[in-house]
Amino acid sequence: MPRLILFLFMPSKPQSFQPALTQIIRRIHFNFSASIFIPSITTRHFFHTAGTLLAGLVLVACGKQEPQAPAASAPAPATRVVVVGTDAAYAPFESQNEKGEIVGFDIDVVKAVAQKAGIEVKFLNPPWEGIFNSLGQGDRDLLVSAITITAERQQTMDFSAPYFDAQQLIAVKKDSKIAKFTDLKKLKVGVQNGTTGDEVVTKLQGKENVNIKRFESTPLALKELEGGGVDAVVADNGVVVHYVNNNANSQFKTISDTSFASEQYGLAVKKGNAELLAILNKGLADVKADGTYQQIYTKYFGAAPAAATPAPAVSK
């Protein structure tokens, strides 16, 4: 460690000065050891020398710089959270498992799209009735609930590119004589309220026909068929087939009809939300390109999807 030799020249009669200066010296902290020699000089020389010394010490102290702490890095931008509404009563597209978690084909597709897009999704489970109002009011950013793209709906919301091809299907009991859609003209038919099934049966029987039995969900309508409360149920093919395959005791059979138009599901966003729509379309294209979509489809429907074909706009 370096040593600093300090010569402090005191006046010939230093009694009144020496104690004060000594205290000053003792209060100054150095990063080195010091030896102090205090001979006697005149009072005038004492003040001159002491002043010079103290000025030098001040310069040394002021010149010492503490190392600066590194600047804190800016926080990473928060991941965007998109609130998704889904009516989780439409297996295999969306339903709740025994833990109360929302699961299904639609849910897996949206999660895969979100991962590609670098966004987070939060699923909420509102009832089907009112689900579109929640989108228009801004309570939801996105809807996924096996929603068919229709011209009427496109007036109040925007849709992504189609992600699923669907069609209406008739469910009846195995011993039923029903063979085609027009056979339902004068029969009791169960539908889910506000869906495409509701629309096609309403066109067949008339809007105010009391034979149309509307339910909050398709599974409830199928339960009514099982109990004999209706003669048939008309609903999306994916839901009907899933229910029949998983409820063998129901003793149902299904009937397709050429009068049913092809339908396509899309992800719905608030009208004018072009930014989110572009993110979703890019994510959908990515999951189809890398095979993720095909894996999800096979998981729920047992086979890879057929090549998509253009479909006329017709609703869940």
Helices (H) and strands (E) in the chain, counts: 10, 16
Residue carrying the six token digits 């230093």 = 14
Residue 189's pLDDT is 98
d(CA 147, CA 161): 12
Query: How many CA atoms are closer than 13 Å to the CA of 234, on its beta-carbon side?
Result: 33
Residues of the chain with pLDDT > 70, as a percent, come to: 72
Q: Residue 33, class by beta-carbon neighbours within 10 Å (0-12 exposed, 13-18 middle, 19+ buried)?
A: exposed
Q: What digits encode the pLDDT tens for the residues 240-251?
A: 999 999 998 889
Residue 204: pLDDT band by 50, 70, 90 thresholds?
very high
Predicted pLDDT at 19? 53
The residue-averaged pLDDT of 234-261 equals: 94
First-to-last alpha carbon distance for the chain, in angstroms, is 85
Q: What is the mean pLDDT of the chain?
A: 82
Percent of all residues in the chain with a pLDDT value above 90, rounded to a whole number:
67
pLDDT value for 52: 54
Average pLDDT over residues 287-316: 76
Is the link from the previous residue into 92 a cis peptide, with omega within 30 of 0? yes
Mean pLDDT lowest among 13-22, 73-82, 192-201, 266-275: 13-22
Indicate if the alpha-carbon torsion angle 136, 138, 139, 144 is positive or negative. Answer: positive
Instruction: Specify the residue for token string 């005191």.
Output: 10
Neighbours of 173 (CB within 10 A): 15
pLDDT digits (tens, 9 = 90+) for 8-60: 444 444 455 455 545 544 444 444 444 444 444 554 554 455 455 444 444 44
Identify the three-state secondary structure at position 20.
Answer: helix
189 contacts 213 by C-beta, under 8 angstroms: yes
Closest CA to 292 of 106, 109, 163: 109
Select the highest-mean-pLDDT range: 59-68, 74-83, 234-243, 307-316.
234-243
Mean pLDDT of 212-240: 96
* Cβ pair 104, 93 in contact under 8 A: yes
- For the chain, list the domains and their CATH numbers: 3-58 (no CATH), 81-165+264-301 (3.40.190.10), 168-255 (3.40.190.10)
Across 26-30, 109-113, 146-150, 275-279, least confident range: 26-30
The pLDDT score that the predictor gives to residue 185 is 97
- pLDDT of residue 129 exceeding 90: no
